[in-house]
Structure 1
């Protein structure tokens, strides 16, 4: 298959994306996603574990243990470099999710905000500094 814009596609549908987050420790990261954000651990791999997957509803995040940060934390924060974007279907759901995470003690990089392009969103910082955007429609 060529890389041209005129290429014919098979009609295959991509059903999901699974962003990979780089973390310092699999257990601590899984604990955060489960206890604070309401995910479940799908699997851990390795002895000791160096890879895992967590899921909530249709979202799946892969966690990869690394010895040191792969991105400069100052650059990440200044440029708001997101590690993942997760979406909900309604304005009510994004508000409920924000309140749920707030009650669970999540660390917010940005609290719930209405954006000029018609979305409402907020950003959570995980224990490793990864920025996770949660978004939904503003109305």
Structure 2
């Protein structure tokens, strides 16, 4: 029998708590330029309470039933300058402008309608490379 394949973590998808899923979907899709991949409601008569959003290789989950404490997620981006320009033009809530950081990242910060923080950054070595 062959040796079992060693386990490897593939990716992580943060679940962000939101008060109003419909409004949050509008913000993430309209301002941060994500796409809705999936929505879940407990019954057909109820509104969706969970959604999965994606852009490129990144996946975020939004839950209107989750605890109401804001969360933070960090997303690594190839081409952070271009993405920053796109979301800024779309009207995203930029709470920290794009800047080079002493920890060798070029990054910016946004907050969604519920105070969840999303940071987007790129290793400076990949930019200056």
TM-score normalised by structure 1 residue count: 0.78
State the distance in 2 between where 1:115 and 1:16 align: 25
Q: 1:69 Cα deviation (Å)? A: 2.7
How big is the alpha-carbon RMSD for the aligned residues of Structure 1 and Structure 2? 1.8
Q: 1:68 Cα deviation (Å)? A: 6.9
Q: 1:126 Cα deviation (Å)? A: 0.7
Q: Is the 8 A contact 1:24 1:68 kept in 2?
A: no
Q: Which runs of 5+ in 1 are unaligned?
A: 1-8, 72-81
TM-score normalised by structure 2 residue count: 0.84
1:103 alignment partner in structure 2: 89
2:54 alignment partner in structure 1: 55
Runs (4 or more) in structure 1 with deviation over 6 Å come to none
Q: 1:11 Cα deviation (Å)? A: 1.8
1:16 alignment partner in structure 2: 11
Q: Which runs of 5+ in 2 are unaligned?
A: none
1:83 paired to 2:72: yes
State the distance in 1 between where 2:123 and 2:66 align: 38
2:29 alignment partner in structure 1: 34
State the distance in 2 between where 1:68 and 1:118 align: 33
